[in-house]
A and B are shown apart, each in its own frame.
Chain A
């Protein structure tokens, strides 16, 4: 990482020296782009705002921090906010604006796999193609479809699903009640987990919750009748609170007569409070690390800065991706900064090629993409509800 940065510094220094030597003021502004814009895209309102709102805050903070540190050679980056509401059609309307404006250099997002899958072809066909760095799209197809514009900092379902299944098997699971919540993300992940369990002859039953479902009595009665010893709920939304409350009503006690493993949205400590403690002992995995659960100073400094910006209780509302969203924004902004400025313009083509080759310095350490746009060495984190906190109990490399 240090290398390209030193080169850039050296380049700036030499330009500066040349400017001094020549006594000209014009050359000092050669490397200053006229206008730099990036977009934050995700479900910032609507039912999925639980994951989107905190991510947006993180991206806004990342841009603010980047601009405070000087922006792109002195030019402040403008952030466009594209609230796609988890819908590809809405996303396309926003992206059309970005595609036609060459100063829009990249997208942080889209957050949902379904939206990436629906809009990537359009971004790819733009001229030049409009690159994206997602902080949370985890469906396998997102990076397996051969779109060069797609990058993501989170791990994939085919890393998470088997890791989840293996974790339950290691804990002695005999029969798993596998549930999805009827979204591209949760069905894809539940399928991966189900496949791994089936391949290893663990008996299972598959069911679905509805997005936004409140009454889980039917499903919980079914869980009891199934004789399962583990409940696996692939979900990113706020449904877990209601499921766990209903389990308590029907005397299924987590850690006692049932075990619980949730995914991405469910390593949120607010679930413990909202279930009045019934969630204690439950496990959840996440494709992105929660900076609050890490000890590195970069992660801790970010948590402090986030709280300073948005209030002391802001973390409880920040959702599972406030770390990876900041990371994705850092990556995109560094790729832009690394790109050459020609006649006051930065080309998206250069940003895209830089994304593919450079190593980026983020709050989670250094990050690099493989040829498909997947992050190399992305990890799966296992959390457990202990007391009022979700604590990382295990890290599985993906």
Chain B
């Protein structure tokens, strides 16, 4: 029983990570119907910015200023940097193609993803880069009976949950949120209603990418190391999570992420880690066959 609970906790933690990235995927898809395949790599760049900020302030495991301030600075740098990067990607790679064939932005998205990976590889580091967590955050472990999890893992879980709620409130309870939903429903009609669609899309990209940056910081604090290829695998899993939950649906991204994490952990823990991914993608196929719109998604009628 203890083993089961431990694997469940492991899965929820991993699932929170997927959910964090999936939220950004789903937000952008919800507005633009665009699969932003570069999102995982924006997450990676955010993580590198955070690692860089930490490296500048921590030498030989001793922080120049209190660890808490370093973390705040990492958050600012990573979220700001990733947000700006997201806006730049939209401006350069997606906006010129907004009225083109729907496949075109998909290709540029993959191009941007490859560019970011290789740029970080060449200009920053081909090897994993350290996040000096020992000097930054408590390395404490929370023990409940036989189940243990690092404090930073709990922060990851809480962070994902809080963000999902905040995003949900933002999209459904604010003026700007309704402008976003209007843009999502009918871009042309939204323009007639006086909504600056370009601005809405830009802000959406900023929020989604800043979220990825935040995810990068939480990742760094939990796993203590970042590398240039981390965005790829995470991006694919997060995309899968978003589809399972119902792409375009914020709560769906959270549910999909957690479900995927738990599924992966339990299948790995009880069956075999050799077939872990087989079960994950089997689940994706099953969901697509039984509920093509995803668990929480609305059936879509094809818009012209």
Q: Which residues of A contact B (CB under 8 A)?
A: 45-47, 49-50, 53, 182, 206-210, 212-215, 217-219, 221-222, 225, 238, 241-242, 245, 249-251, 268, 270, 273-276, 316-317, 319
Q: Which residues of B contact A210 (CB under 8 A)?
A: 233, 276-277
Q: Which residues of B contact A273 (CB under 8 A)?
A: 130
Which of A45, A215, A242 contacts B14, CB < 8 Å?
A215
Q: Which residues of B contact A46 (CB under 8 A)?
A: 229
Q: Which residues of B contact A219 (CB under 8 A)?
A: 268, 273
- Do A217 and B13 touch (CB < 8 A)? yes
Most buried by B among A50, A207, A218, A250: A218
Task: Determine the distance from Cα of A319 to Cα of B265 in the docked complex, in whole angstroms.
Answer: 31
Q: Could you tell me the distance in whole angstroms from the C-beta of B59 to the nearest C-beta in chain A?
A: 13
A-B contact pairs, 21 of them (CB 8 A): A49-B121, A207-B272, A207-B273, A207-B274, A208-B272, A210-B277, A212-B230, A215-B10, A217-B14, A217-B153, A218-B11, A218-B276, A221-B6, A221-B7, A238-B127, A242-B225, A251-B148, A270-B128, A274-B225, A276-B61, A276-B134
Q: Which residues of A contact B89 (CB under 8 A)?
A: none
Q: Which residues of A contact B148 (CB under 8 A)?
A: 250-251
Q: Which residues of B contact A207 (CB under 8 A)?
A: 272-274
Taking CB atoms and an 8 Å cut-off, the chain B residues in 103-161 that contact chain A are 118, 121, 125-130, 132-134, 141, 148, 150, 153
Chain B at the A interface: SS class:
helix
- Besides A245-B223, A245-B224, A276-B133, 16 other CB < 8 A contacts? A206-B274, A207-B273, A209-B273, A212-B230, A214-B223, A214-B233, A215-B13, A215-B223, A217-B10, A217-B13, A218-B269, A222-B269, A268-B127, A274-B128, A276-B130, A276-B224
B17 within 8 A of A: yes
Taking CB atoms and an 8 Å cut-off, the chain B residues in 187-233 that contact chain A are 219, 223-225, 227, 229-230, 232-233
What 6 A-B pairs are tightest by C-beta distance, nearest first? A217-B10, A208-B274, A218-B268, A207-B273, A47-B229, A212-B233
B90 within 8 A of A: no
Q: Which residues of B contact A (CB under 8 A)?
A: 3, 6-7, 10-11, 13-14, 17, 61, 118, 121, 125-130, 132-134, 141, 148, 150, 153, 219, 223-225, 227, 229-230, 232-234, 264-265, 268-269, 272-274, 276-277
- Do A208 and B273 touch (CB < 8 A)? yes
Q: Which residues of A contact B273 (CB under 8 A)?
A: 207-209, 218-219, 222
Q: Which residues of B contact A251 (CB under 8 A)?
A: 141, 148
Q: Which residues of B contact A215 (CB under 8 A)?
A: 10, 13-14, 17, 223
Task: Determine the distance from Cα of A49 to Cα of B223 in the docked complex, in whole angstroms.
Answer: 21
Task: Determine the distance from Cα of A53 to Cα of B127 in the docked complex, in whole angstroms.
Answer: 10
Most buried by A among B128, B153, B264, B272: B128
Q: Could you tell me the distance in whole angstroms from the C-beta of B231 to the nearest C-beta in chain A?
A: 10
Q: Could you tell me the distance in whole angstroms from the C-beta of A67 to the nearest C-beta in chain B?
A: 25
The residue in chain B whose Cβ has the minimal distance to the Cβ of A240 is B128
Q: Could you tell me the distance in whole angstroms from the C-beta of B54 to the nearest C-beta in chain A?
A: 12
Task: Determine the distance from Cα of A255 to Cα of B277 in the docked complex, in whole angstroms.
Answer: 32
The residue in chain A whose Cβ has the minimal distance to the Cβ of B135 is A276
Which of B6, B224, B233, B274 contacts A213, CB < 8 Å?
B233
Task: Determine the distance from Cα of A317 to Cα of B228 in the docked complex, in whole angstroms.
Answer: 13
Given contacts A50-B127, A53-B126, is CB(A221)–CB(B3) below 8 Å? yes
Which of A212, A218, A222, A317 contacts B126, CB < 8 Å?
A317
- Do B126 and A49 touch (CB < 8 A)? yes
Q: Which residues of B contact A182 (CB under 8 A)?
A: 274
Which of B3, B225, B227, B230 contacts A225, CB < 8 Å?
B3
The residue in chain B whose Cβ has the minimal distance to the Cβ of A212 is B233
The residue in chain A whose Cβ has the minimal distance to the Cβ of B229 is A47
Q: Could you tell me the distance in whole angstroms from the C-beta of B266 to the nearest C-beta in chain A?
A: 8
